[in-house]
Chains A and B, each alone.
Chain A
Amino acid sequence: MSNMAKTKKFSLRSIMILSVFALALAGCGGGNGNNSGNTSGNSTTTTDNASNTSGSNATEPKPAVELLNVSYDPTRELYEAYNKLFIDYWKTEQNQDVTIKQSHGGSGKQSRAVIDGLKADVVTLALGYDIDAIAEKGLIGTDWQQKFDNNSSPYTSTIVFLVRKGNPKGIKDWNDLIKDDVEVITPNPKTSGGARWNYLAAWGYALKQNNGDEAKAQEFVAELFKHVPVLDSGARGSTTTFVERGLGDVLLAWENEAYLSVNELGKDKFEIVYPSISILAEPPVAVVDKVADDKGTREVAEAYLDFLYTEEAQKIIAENYYRPQLASVAEQFKDRFPTLELLTIDKDFGGWKEAQTKHFADGGIFDKIYVPGS
């Protein structure tokens, strides 16, 4: 008797287990179906777009469109604000709903993800080399830097020092970083765009100090990296190391990242030091041609990047502590951005390709001078 009852119970249970499997499999199929549905939905959007743009501003709403902006670490707050502005602008201008998805990470890592198939409509990275790397694979036209004004860099920035309140170690300039008891926090130049700007700024300073003697510059930078206890993979990771974990005496940071730390975490904890000389960082933007054409989002993608140069957008840029390109906005925010001597990648380092091969490629100078744990 009891055995019979048991068997019944088990078969009931097995039916339940089976049905869970079936449900899960159906869920799997459903998910895939949704995905393909989305893609085809997007491509219909495109054709509608194309036909509508040639005509006058359509009054009836166009099908919604979605952009993916793959960006580097410190731009989170900037694009959060800018996306809202652009969405409103596009709605009034084109009567089309646009959603903008964001992905953030170390600039080199993000560039790698796009190369590996992350479907970014636009990339807004930390330096030109990372976009060149995508262009090399044929996803972006090689002339991308001429597509938008100012070398396709709607904003610039520079590298500054963030020190603890009162500057207890008395850090004023680059040569203070290699004092005996100073620990420096910077991310890894192999993966982080910001870290490459940091490195080059230090190199440029040493070169000027030693009248262009490269051996001396290499010695200085090697000494500097001996003062680095930990290399994070991205700028935001380094900031967290310095600010949250309390490691190190000075953080080499993007100007905007330094201001953000001071504002978010307390003016009573940190202060910003401007060195005598730094580097003009030009984070560039580009439409990923292959993806935009496949998805049919070229028009809105180009407008998205173009709109960065307008006065309203440049204000948001300045409010987020990036240096605006537009003279009128720069004038308005001039108290926020002190002037200092800035090296440029093209004049002082012969462009990104050369700097990359010489310093950061496998077997380059950075590999020679940086010995982990030393």
Chain B
Amino acid sequence: MAGAVTSHLSHEAAKRPKHITESPIVKWVLISIALLFLALVVLLPLISVFIEAFKQGMSVYWASITDPDAVSALKLTLMTALIAVPLNTIFGIAAAWAITKFSFRGKNLLITLIDLPFSISPVISGLIFVLLFGAQGWFGPWLDDHNIQILFALPGIVLATTFVTFPFVARELIPLMQAQGVHEEEAAASLGAKGWQIFWRVTLPNIKWGLLYGIILCNARAMGEFGAVSVVSGHIRGETNTLPLHVEILYNEYQFSASFAVASLLVFLAVITLIVKSIVEWRTSIVQAGKEGEQADAH
């Protein structure tokens, strides 16, 4: 899965005998290439965001992130993530559960559909909702008659974000649950456990770290989405502008420092997400190591 890169170097690999490992030169060349690439492609742009943000001093920085439009964009972004991420979590668990624990017709079709948002351009994802809910779209006239505003308002933004981010949780869980198989659930069922009991006591504990990882990725994308949201937002300042859209507006208004200041807010949100992600990974490796230890003891 994209993003799911964890280091799986086990104790044995670390203690590998010399004659089957690469020479130190190869090792260090590989490491420096990777680090150099990271510095150029990730670190440098990140640093430049902060340099630009603070170029005109702390007061300009503070003024731009406390500007009412920026605050409203931050609120909208958090609100959108707060709705879209739980929805996708529920959907992701349900889909992964259905796909890995049961066999039914059309399973492959479902898997393909889950991948769809990854494979189409975010702009198209936005346009889909314009075609559905726009005043000239399929449901437009009915919505208008009932005074329901979906496009160019919070519901449209949430829908577009949910659409774009829905594969993350499911995609993270499916391989994990496939690897785990159904034995534990079968055992629980044979001991008389009911459906919900099996889910809460057996399945969820097994998948919880993978699930958290999926939620974090989903959240990161939900807060950063630009393309699809741009199509359905209507760009009303202080109302339907999310943080990424607000950054673009400020940039186009020649307020470069302000634009980078708001961009740095997004970076902070991303950094928080990454820290949480690292903690999750660290916990996962401890849990795995613990399990391996238990298994070794049993043998």
Residues of A in contact with B (beta carbons under 8 Å apart)? 6-7, 10-11, 13-14, 20-21, 24-25, 27-28, 31-32, 35-36, 39, 68, 73, 76-77, 101-105, 113, 115-119, 137, 236-237, 240, 260, 264-265
> CB-nearest residue of chain A relative to B205?
A10
CB neighbours of B136 from chain A (8 A): 115-117, 137
Question: Nearest chain A CB to B77's CB is how many angstroms away?
Answer: 13
Q: Is there an interface contact between A101 and B238, defined as CB atoms closer than 8 Å?
A: yes
Q: Is there an interface contact between A118 and B201, defined as CB atoms closer than 8 Å?
A: no
Cβ proximity bits B118-143 to A, threshold 8 Å, 1 near / 0 not: 00000000000010011111001000
> CB-nearest residue of chain B relative to A31?
B154
Q: Is there an interface contact between A21 and B239, defined as CB atoms closer than 8 Å?
A: no
CB neighbours of A31 from chain B (8 A): 79, 83, 154-155
Q: Is there an interface contact between A116 and B135, defined as CB atoms closer than 8 Å?
A: yes
Q: Is there an interface contact between A27 and B79, defined as CB atoms closer than 8 Å?
A: yes
- Interface residues of B, dominant DSSP: helix
Any chain A CB within 8 A of the CB of B62? no
Any chain A CB within 8 A of the CB of B208? yes
Task: List 7 additional A-B contacts (Cβ < 8 Å) besides A6-B205, A10-B204, A10-B208.
Answer: A39-B147, A103-B234, A103-B235, A103-B237, A104-B249, A116-B136, A117-B133
Residue of A36, A116, A118 touching B147 (CB-CB under 8 A): A36
Number of residues from B at the complex interface, CB < 8 A: 41
CB neighbours of B154 from chain A (8 A): 31-32, 35
CB neighbours of A32 from chain B (8 A): 154-155
Q: Is there an interface contact between A25 and B86, defined as CB atoms closer than 8 Å?
A: yes
- Interface residues of A, dominant DSSP: helix
CB neighbours of B86 from chain A (8 A): 20-21, 24-25
Which one of B4-12, B250-258, B272-280 is at the interface? Answer: B250-258
Residues of B in contact with A (beta carbons under 8 Å apart)? 79, 82-83, 85-87, 89-90, 130, 133-137, 140, 144, 147-149, 151-155, 158, 200-201, 204-205, 208, 234-239, 249, 251-254
Residue of A14, A73, A115 touching B135 (CB-CB under 8 A): A115
CB neighbours of A137 from chain B (8 A): 135-136
A77 vs B249: C-alpha distance when bound (angstroms): 12
> CB-nearest residue of chain A relative to B151?
A117
> CB-nearest residue of chain A relative to B149?
A35
Q: Is there an interface contact between A240 and B251, defined as CB atoms closer than 8 Å?
A: yes
Q: Is there an interface contact between A113 and B237, defined as CB atoms closer than 8 Å?
A: no
Residue of B83, B155, B252 touching A24 (CB-CB under 8 A): B83
Task: Show 10 A/B contacts (Cβ-Cβ < 8 Å), sorted by A.
Answer: A21-B86, A24-B85, A35-B155, A68-B236, A76-B253, A101-B238, A103-B237, A117-B136, A117-B140, A119-B149
Question: Nearest chain B CB to A139's CB is how many angstroms away?
Answer: 8
Question: Nearest chain B CB to A254's CB is how many angstroms away?
Answer: 14
**Which of B79, B136, B237, B251 is packed against the most chain A CB atoms within 10 Å?**
B237
Q: Is there an interface contact between B235 and A117, defined as CB atoms closer than 8 Å?
A: no
Question: Nearest chain B CB to A252's CB is how many angstroms away?
Answer: 18
> CB-nearest residue of chain B relative to A239?
B252
- In the complex with contacts A102-B236, A265-B254, A24-B82 CB distance below 8 A: yes
Q: Is there an interface contact between A14 and B79, defined as CB atoms closer than 8 Å?
A: no
> CB-nearest residue of chain B relative to A28?
B83
